[in-house]
């Protein structure tokens, strides 16, 4: 989903209300992503366990708070958001718009902005505000993320930036600029500062007079 300029100017706060059937469909799509990530095989007990994971619960209660928010029950939506955050350590404001089939790997997570379908975040990262207050469609100073975007562990997207469809953001990356569709973003590779051999013979690393 490449977000058109005209659509990007519409705040998530101004989206039309969802019917309860639409909200339930979003809930089912989120849980289906969890089932797929676990290998599609599981007993009824395993599926119950997956439903009770903090990540599954966070998305479930976000869908309810978002439903209420768009229907004008904003104070109730914010109360659900607070309880959800306290219990799951995952912060998804009711102003955040998330497409179908979202998957979160681990808590903690923060999601603020507009997110497309089949979004994946493996944990310890998220989306949020940067140094600007410009609104490109995710809310003031917040990002707009396309469909099928994957963010690895500890990846973050900050500020009013667009992440194109199918983009991949690597571990520990902090993105503050637009990312093209299907692009791969990676941080600098780690360097080896010492080896086991050097640790066993520290004198060999000392300067000779």
Instruction: Give the tens place of pLDDT for each residue, 58-91.
Output: 999 999 999 999 999 999 999 999 999 999 999 9
Average pLDDT over residues 43-62: 95
Enter the tokens of residue 189: 């590779």
Contact between 176 and 161 under an 8 Å Cβ cutoff? The reply is yes
Residue 151 lies in a domain: yes
Average pLDDT over residues 80-106: 97
Residue 206 lies in a domain: no
For residue 108, say if its preceding peptide bond is cis, omega within 30 degrees of 0. Answer: yes
Residue 110 pLDDT greater than 90, yes or no: yes
User: Which domain CATH number covers 113?
Assistant: 2.160.10.10
Residue 5 lies in a domain: no
Contacts of 138 (CB under 8 A, 6+ apart): 12, 97, 112, 113, 114, 127, 144, 145, 160
Contact between 194 and 208 under an 8 Å Cβ cutoff? The reply is no
Cβ neighbourhood burial of 74 (10 Å; 0-12, 13-18, 19+): middle
Enter the tokens of residue 83: 């309880």
The whole model's pTM is what? 0.86
Residue 84 lies in a domain: yes
Residue 109 lies in a domain: yes
Enter the tokens of residue 64: 């309810």
Residue 194 lies in a domain: no
Q: Would you say how long the chain is, in residues?
A: 209
Which is more confident, 13 or 203? 13
Range of the domain at 63: 10-186
Residue 182 pLDDT greater than 90, yes or no: yes
Residue 2 lies in a domain: no
Average pLDDT over residues 20-49: 92
pLDDT tens column, 139-176: 999 999 999 999 999 999 999 999 999 999 999 999 99
User: H helices within 71-113, ranges in order?
Assistant: 74-88
Residue 74 lies in a domain: yes
Residue 208 pLDDT greater than 60, yes or no: no
Q: Are strands 162-163 and 184-185 parallel, antiparallel or unpaired?
A: unpaired
Q: How far apart are CA 166 and CA 195, in angstroms?
A: 38
CA angle 93, 172, 99 (to 5 degrees): 35
The number of distinct structural domains making up the chain is 1
């Amino acid at each position: 989903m490449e977000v058109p300029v005209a659509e990007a100017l519409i705040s998530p706060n101004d989206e039309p209300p969802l019917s309860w059937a639409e909200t339930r469909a979003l809930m089912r799509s989120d849980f289906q992503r969890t089932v797929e990530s676990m290998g599609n095989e599981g007993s009824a007990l395993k599926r119950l366990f997956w439903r009770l994971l903090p990540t599954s619960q966070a998305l479930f209660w976000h869908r309810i708070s978002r439903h209420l928010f768009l229907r004008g029950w904003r104070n109730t939506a914010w109360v659900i958001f607070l309880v959800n955050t306290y219990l799951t350590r995952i912060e998804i404001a009711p102003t955040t718009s998330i497409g179908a089939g979202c998957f979160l790997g681990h808590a903690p997570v923060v999601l603020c902005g507009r997110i497309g379908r089949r979004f994946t975040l493996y944990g310890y990262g998220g989306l949020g505000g940067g140094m600007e207050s410009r609104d490109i469609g995710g809310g003031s100073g917040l990002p707009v993320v396309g469909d099928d975007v994957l963010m690895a562990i500890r990846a973050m997207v900050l500020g009013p930036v667009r992440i194109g469809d199918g983009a991949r953001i690597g571990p520990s990356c902090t993105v503050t600029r637009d990312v093209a569709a299907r692009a791969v973003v990676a941080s600098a590779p780690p360097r080896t500062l010492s080896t086991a051999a050097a640790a066993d013979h520290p004198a060999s690393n000392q300067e000779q007079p």
